[in-house]
């Protein structure tokens, strides 16, 4: 009995794949084509002048800004910690990818239900993620008080990569303008 236990554990562990062992390329071309088409359509909506741009652009904290489609199935999120507290109204430009600014697109359901919310709903399902692999983010925060203001985020020459498939896209310039930030949910 004592020798059987280590053999069972070894057999179970042999079947476990680590993230390094996983194949990063997805072969489901139909799902991949649908994901990529959704990303490009959403990016085009974001790049279009109002009122075509997404009906929901919002933000909070120091500093989180997002745009989402009406169905809440596509979202763009930009996180740049600490820009509101030190805001001067002067544009700051970051080369992407950056440790100071996170830019990410997501596809799924209920994507923004937990954004800028102090009540966790837990219904978000993310089915695809694209991260910024190139381009620039220019962020201007115009302060209205010591911890609040309006942010404008301009993403230029943005190259995004699907984290599951490796497919990349260069997107049109996207501007999320005059988004109220700094306020804390709750």
The residue ranking higher by pLDDT, 23 or 134, is 134
Residue scoring higher pLDDT (37 or 26): 37
> What pLDDT band is residue 170 in, cutting at 50, 70 and 90?
very high
pLDDT digits (tens, 9 = 90+) for 63-116: 999 999 889 999 999 999 999 998 999 999 999 999 999 999 999 999 999 998
d(CA 88, CA 83): 9
Q: Which of 121, 124, 126, 122 is nearest to 105 (CA)?
A: 126
Give the model confidence (pLDDT) of 104-160 as tens digits: 999 999 999 999 887 888 899 999 999 999 999 999 999 999 899 999 999 999 999
Mean local confidence (pLDDT), 55-59: 84
pTM as predicted: 0.79
User: Angle at CA 22, nearest 5°, toward 16 and 26?
Assistant: 135
Backbone Cα Rg of the chain: 20
Q: Where are the domains of the chain?
A: 27-181
What distance in Å separates the CA atoms of residue 154 and residue 117, rounded to the nearest whole number?
24
């Amino acid at each position: 009995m004592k020798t059987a236990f280590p053999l069972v554990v070894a057999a179970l562990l042999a079947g476990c794949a680590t993230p390094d062992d996983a194949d990063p390329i997805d072969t489901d071309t139909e799902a991949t084509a649908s994901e990529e088409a959704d990303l490009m359509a959403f990016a085009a909506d974001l790049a279009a002048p109002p009122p075509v741009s997404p009906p929901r652009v919002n933000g909070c904290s120091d500093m989180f800004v997002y745009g989402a489609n009406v169905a809440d199935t596509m979202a763009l999120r930009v996180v740049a910690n600490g820009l509101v507290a030190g805001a001067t109204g002067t544009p700051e430009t970051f080369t992407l990818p950056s440790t100071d600014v996170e830019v990410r697109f997501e596809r799924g359901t209920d994507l923004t239900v937990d954004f800028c919310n102090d009540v966790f709903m837990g219904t978000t399902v993310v089915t695809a993620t694209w991260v910024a692999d190139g381009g620039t983010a220019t962020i201007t925060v115009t302060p209205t008080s010591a911890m609040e203001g309006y942010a404008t985020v301009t993403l230029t020459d943005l190259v995004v990569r699907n984290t599951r498939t490796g497919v990349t896209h260069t997107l049109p310039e996207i501007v999320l303008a005059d988004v109220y930030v700094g306020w804390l949910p709750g």
